[in-house]
Amino acid sequence: MAGNGETSWCFSQIKGALDDDVTEADIISCVEFNHDGELLATGDKGGRVVIFQRDPSSKASTPRRGEYNVYSTFQSHEPEFDYLKSLEIEEKINKIRWLRRKNQSHFLLSTNDKTIKLWKVSERDKRVEGYNTREDNGSIRDPASINSLRVPSIKPMDLMVEASPRRIFANAHTYHINSISVNSDQETYLSADDLRINLWHLEITDQSFNIVDIKPANMEELTEVITAAEFHPTECNVFVYSSSKGTIRLCDMRSSALCDRHAKLFEEPEDVDTTNKSFFREIISSISDVKLSNSGRYMISRDYLSIKVWDLHMETKPIETYPVHEYLRTKLCSLYENDCIFDKFECCWNGNDSAIMTGSYNNFFRIFDRNTNKDVTLEASRDIIKPKTVLKPRKVCTGGKRKKDEISVDCLAFNKRILHTAWHPLENIIAVAATNNLFIFQDKF
């Protein structure tokens, strides 16, 4: 954030093909920085994971630039078929979560609808030559031809980045996985689907503990589903999960093995004003994402029209509410007809919890500065893909006379939506996924 409270962002990079003809498999489905922001991972609908690495020269330059180069690309998931249920299982990557770095290698979890995989990403720039029993190309040597003992030597080689699956966690979810979250102990993680949350140990693939189960005995009595879940950043026994009814439950694993009784329930008080009650009220109050702050004191929740900040010490109401695209409230009927009302927008914090970001339609994304109460609408547009181009704030006109730089609400492109965004944990560098392109922006030079 700029020093005077005004947000000023400029274009840094765009990744992905710039053709208008986009294949479904290339659409980005998740974006995630690692803990120091050196690596940035994206997953797509084709089951691929692409990892970008911060360009060392961009970090050393003055002023610092936020530039990333492709580091590794690998196929994480393949399409599968569940023969028992006659269901196709998509290869689309739903979530990526990094583990904290413990050695030279990097580890990340990636998941599709059913299977979670732990990947090891490591570098190799040396090779061993001079084996006694085999040639350098790998073929076995004839023992009769070996008449001297060779001491193998290590030789330098071109840098190679290898991604290998270390663990595969499967067959634990009946419904589609919507969240994974690594615990602060870095030994366990949770995975959540529509009705259950499971707790895993990173070393054990054939066993998980069911810690939340909201499935009723009779499915006709089902009133809500789990939409997102996340561990607390420092308290390893605490996690939160959100529901399609607009509530967030905080659970403490110390209280019981099955956390069916929550410790806290965060819910906005019922609106007594009947003017806001509509047929769509239940749909738009469904929480699509929840994220705990880096400090662990606050959390943000995103519903269809707004983003709310909650204090974990106060359950009764949010401490801040920011409208994201209030101008769509009058358009809910058409948004219901074209299914846009069911879009699941994510949200994220900046490194020091002073700002939050989330997406909207027309490739717009919103940044809210909590200190100054100022907000800005920016556009991830191909028209500005010149380095250092400053992003101009966008405004949407809802009626009456439209000003020159405004866009009418009726002209918004609802097929261009920004669902996935990520904020560098230490710097003002943001990654925004717009269909098949990844935009990287940074604060003004």
Give the count of beta carbons closer than 10 Å to the beta carbon of residue 20.
6
Question: With 90 as the cut, is the pLDDT of residue 133 above it?
Answer: no
Residue 117 burial by Cβ neighbours in a 10 Å radius (0-12, 13-18, 19+): buried
> Are the C-beta atoms of 437 and 42 separated by less than 8 Å?
no
Question: With 90 as the cut, is the pLDDT of residue 275 above it?
Answer: no
Any residues with CB less than 8 A from the CB of 361 and at least 6 apart, and which? 325, 328, 340, 412, 413, 414, 416, 417
Q: How many helices (H) and strands (E) does the chain have?
A: 3, 32
Percent of the chain with pLDDT over 90: 70
- The pLDDT score that the predictor gives to residue 2 is 42
The band of 276, judged by pLDDT with boundaries at 50, 70 and 90, is low
- The pLDDT score that the predictor gives to residue 1 is 42
Which structure tokens are listed for 433? 């996924």
Give CA–CA dist 188/181, Å, rounded.
Answer: 9
Q: Is 310 left (phi over 0), alpha (psi -120 to 50) or beta?
A: beta
Using DSSP bridges, classify how beta strands 429-434 and 420-423 pair: parallel, antiparallel or unpaired. antiparallel
Interval 296-312: pLDDT, tens:
999 999 999 999 999 99
Which structure tokens are listed for 176? 């589609």
Give CA–CA dist 357/347, Å, rounded.
Answer: 6
> Are the C-beta atoms of 95 and 30 separated by less than 8 Å?
yes
26-35, 142-151, 365-374 — which is least confidently predicted?
142-151
Angstrom distances, CA of residue 192 to CA of 211, 243, 250, 383 = 10, 11, 14, 39
Which structure tokens are listed for 287? 């929480």
- Give ∠ CA 435-245-195 in degrees, rounded to 5: 80
Interval 42-84: pLDDT, tens:
999 999 999 999 998 888 887 788 899 999 999 999 998 888 7
Angstrom distances, CA of residue 193 to CA of 242, 280, 304 = 11, 24, 20
What is the average pLDDT across 277-300? 92
Interval 393-431: pLDDT, tens:
999 888 777 777 888 888 899 999 999 999 999 999 999
Give CA–CA dist 265/268, Å, rounded.
Answer: 10
- The pLDDT score that the predictor gives to residue 54 is 94
Which structure tokens are listed for 365? 């994304």
- The pLDDT score that the predictor gives to residue 21 is 83
Residue with tokens 């986009």: 22
> Are the C-beta atoms of 39 and 31 separated by less than 8 Å?
no
**Overall fold of domain 7-441:** Methylamine Dehydrogenase; Chain H (2.130.10)
Which structure tokens are listed for 178? 């919507």
- The pLDDT score that the predictor gives to residue 81 is 86
Give the count of beta carbons closer than 10 Å to the beta carbon of residue 436.
20
Give CA–CA dist 232/226, Å, rounded.
Answer: 17
> Are the C-beta atoms of 431 and 33 separated by less than 8 Å?
yes
Using DSSP bridges, classify how beta strands 347-349 and 320-323 pair: parallel, antiparallel or unpaired. unpaired
The band of 161, judged by pLDDT with boundaries at 50, 70 and 90, is confident
The band of 107, judged by pLDDT with boundaries at 50, 70 and 90, is very high
Which structure tokens are listed for 250? 């905080």
Give CA–CA dist 72/52, Å, rounded.
Answer: 7
